[in-house]
Amino acid sequence: MQNKKILITGGTGSFGYKATQKFLQAGAEVIIYSRDEYKQALMKKEFPDAKFCIGDVRDLERLQECTQGVAVIIHAAAMKHVDICEQNSSEAFKTNVLGSKNVVAAALSNDVPVIINLSADKAVYPAGIYGESKAESEKIFVEGARKAKVLGKPCRFSNLRYSNVLSSRGSVVEIFEKILQDDKTVTVFDDKMIRLVLTQNQVISLVEFTINNSLGGETYLIKSPVLRISDLATAMQQHLGKGKVEIKNEIREGEKYDAVLLSAEESRRTLITTESYLVILPEFAVSLSGYHERYGDNYFAQGEYGTHNAQYLNNEEIIKMVYEESDELYNQHNNHNTEKQGTADLPALEGGTPVRDTHLPYATQWTGEEEKKEILEVLESGWLTTGPKVQQFETDIAEYLGAKYAIALNSGTAALHCCVGALDIGPGDEVITTPFTFLATANAIVYVGATPVLVDVEEDTYNIDPEEIRKKITPRTKAIIPVHYGGHPCNMDEIKKIAEEYDLKVIEDAAHALSTEYKGQKIGTHSDMVIFSFHPVKNITTAEGGIITTNDEELAKRCVMHRTHGITKEAMERYGKDANWTYDMQRLGHRYNMTEFQAALGVAQLKKIGFFQQRREGIVDKYQQAFSSMPELILPTVKDYAKSSWHLFPIRIREEMLNADRNKMIKALKAENIGVNVHYIPIHMHTYYQKNFGFKEGDFPKAEKIYSSIITLPLFPKMSEQDADDVIKAVRKTINYYRR
Ligand SMILES: Cc1ncc(COP(=O)(O)O)c(C=O)c1O
């Protein structure tokens, strides 16, 4: 959102108000476009940083003028009240239909990149003027997307359809609240009346999700729960301890019992993108591949989505939704209830309530139907060990990274071992690496009998410091293993310069760095050999697995031999149809080959790397915005030569500003059910390395300082917006509490 210019039509409504507040907080530039001068004047007082345009969506010229240079249009202007629309049908069509046409035309003429039309569940099976006009506006946006594609315009038009927003201006919650606070009786006209509901905050998250994910032509929805209106009244009455509820069972004319968010026909074109979002693909999406790549773990929704297949909210959930997740009322209420406010702010470690009920891991894989399909294919193929799927995975990775050769193995550790072995490094040789890495990096050096020589790291990137490398080079030094910590690339030009100067080999440990770029080029081809890991917490997974990329034919051959005992033939050549039984062992190798199942996972996962990366970046954006104003935290640095894969999001705490050290902060965050972690305990602090190589604490002060203050926050593509919000909430809560 940072510095994005966002124009909201109808921006003085309840959506516009809330969105303006959120987007300004996120560092965006907000322009309110509406015809209501009075409300604009009120909003200006509250949001002096926002810009205000008096304008009507029925006025194309004015829209064209105001949307120049805009990055996002959120089209919220509409006539929304069912009764008013019925009585003013031509005006409703002018605003809702002509208005949408004008927004599309203005966006196309100004090349606006993202345009979102806010629509409603009533557009699914329209029963009146309002629903019909919204259904028409959705079609206009889909048509806009098609036009943009045909004209080669950069505009992505999407619809965002939502159900009833609790606590929006004039909503039933507001009405009930007032009656109950006055100790009067709320009348519910029918016990059977139910609605799909969501909160204003959820709508804003869906808008953000749409801004980040829109391809053009889709309609985005939130899977909403069902609320029985009588339950709402009863829950609110019990919560407030005031007023009464009367249920009449005589539904009013024109009132519907329930709601539908998605028609049966639409469900055939609908993907479920995350736990909470659905996306209806446009009819013109002849190929779904772009969407599959984007949405990863997806499947088609089954049948229409309405109150009959959504979950009912219980009393506790209703109150949470009304008072905790919907803003203004919550704040008003909490101002009267300081005791509740107190416990909400108290860390769980100190007796407060945890931010979430279930544990959120720091990382986990995301697999779906594509992975299942690939794995079943292998099972049915009859060939399970290294074979055609492994070859396909190797080709796919080599192509993705632009490398000549890729050799798949059963772990990243095995990959490191093969590389060091392939360079004929052995006893008496030294290999330089960083102390701030996982043990696997240093262990690979020890496996071949060589000596690991550690050098300290840069204080901002946590990567090996090239200047320190120079100081540790001896006549015995054979190679350098830089590690791209957390996905941020090392300073490769400097490292290569040193390697050339002293005739050293370079093996990059890119276990964290699939999709990382150094000076605009993907990590994978900068050195003699590069290794990646596919452990489940990594950016893509093969359950366990690793790969080596190289442009050197001889090194590639040696690595292939190493993975099957150092013999000249692999399984296919020994057991396949045209196999010859002879074989010869030429070098000492190991049993490091990858199975077809692992490769099957890899093939499916690699197709999703772009989508996964985007999800990671979205969460990182959120974290950076939320934490940048907290002086107690040091956030990850990104150098101008770097594009990070964001494998990790490590924060560091400034202990001197808190009444808690790093370990206490970890305890506190874990008590909130946030699965934080530490990457890494430096190599030289482990008993084995101290005993066998004489390292001791104090040897690498920068690595130790980073280690003592670092905490890895959860970051993985499958995290929902809510998960990320929970992390932010927990960090804020604990920092606020322990602040000196
Ligand atoms: C920096 C680094 N190098 C190497 C490895 C080893 O990879 P694997 O777990 O696939 O053996 C890891 C794994 O965590 C790692 O983080």
Residues 679-690: pLDDT tens digits?
Answer: 999 999 999 999
Per the CB < 8 A criterion, the answer to whether 647 and 487 are in contact is yes
Q: Can you list the residues of the chain whose pLDDT is less than 50? A: 327-342
d(CA 366, ligand 1 centre) in Å:
19
Nearest Cα residue to atom 10 of ligand 1:
412
Q: Please say whether the dihedral angle defined by the alpha carbons of residues 533, 536, 540 and 543, taken in this order, is positive or negative.
A: positive
Cα of 542 from ligand 1 centre, angstroms: 13
Q: Which of 417, 529, 533, 681 maximizes ligand 1 atoms within 8 Å of its Cβ, making it the mutation to test the pocket?
A: 533
Q: What per-residue confidence (pLDDT) applies to 54?
A: 96
Q: CA 496 to CA 466: how far, in whole Å? A: 10
**pLDDT in the model for residue 202:** 85
- Residue 282: the pLDDT is 82
Residue pair 246/186 in contact (Cβ under 8 Å)? The answer is yes
Question: Ligand 1 mean position to 731 CA, how many Å?
Answer: 28
Atom of ligand 1 nearest to the CA of 534: 10
Confirm if 589 and 447 have CB atoms less than 8 A apart: no
Q: How far apart are CA 12 and CA 208, in angstroms?
A: 19
Q: Calculate what percentage of the chain has a pLDDT beyond 90.
A: 69
pLDDT for residue 338 = 34
* Atom 16 of ligand 1: nearest residue by CA position: 438
Tell which atom from ligand 1 comes closest to the C-alpha of 509: 3
Left, alpha or beta for 223 (phi > 0: left; psi -120 to 50: alpha)?
beta
**Tokens standing for residue 358:** 């279930």
Residue bearing tokens 């996982």: 438
**Ligand 1 residue neighbourhood (C-beta within 6 Å):** 411-413, 437-438, 440-441, 483, 509, 511-512, 533, 535, 546
Delineate the domains of the chain, giving CATH numbers in brackets.
1-162 (3.40.50.720), 369-606 (3.40.640.10), 609-738 (3.90.1150.10)
Query: Residue whose CA is closest, atom 7 of ligand 1?
Result: 412
Question: Is 126:132 a contact under the CB 8 Å cutoff?
Answer: yes
Q: How far is the CA of 440 from the centre of ligand 1 (A)?
A: 6
pTM for the predicted model, two decimal places: 0.61
Q: How far, in Å, CA of 590 to CA of 562, rounded?
A: 6
In this predicted structure, what is the pLDDT of residue 341? 38
Number of Cβ within a 10 Å radius of residue 587: 14
| Residue of 365, 409, 410, 413 best suited for mutating to test ligand 1, as the one with most atoms within 8 Å of CB | 413
Please check whether residue 157 is in contact with residue 149, taking contact to mean a CB–CB distance below 8 angstroms.
Answer: no
> Hunting for tokens 């009367």 — which residue is that?
246
d(CA 374, CA 604): 7
User: Which residue of 438, 509, 563, 712 sits with most ligand 1 atoms within 8 Å of its CB, as the best mutation to test the pocket?
Assistant: 438
In ligand 1, the atom with minimum distance to the C-alpha of 546 is 10
Q: Enumerate the active-site residues.
A: 538
Closest CA to 103 of 42, 48, 55: 55
Give the per-residue pLDDT at 254.
57
Total number of residues shown for the chain: 740
- Cα 533 to ligand 1 centre (Å): 6
Question: Ligand 1 centroid vs 649 CA: distance in angstroms?
Answer: 17
Q: Which atom of ligand 1 is nearest to the CA of 679?
A: 16
Q: Look at residue 168 in the predicted model and tell me its pLDDT.
A: 67
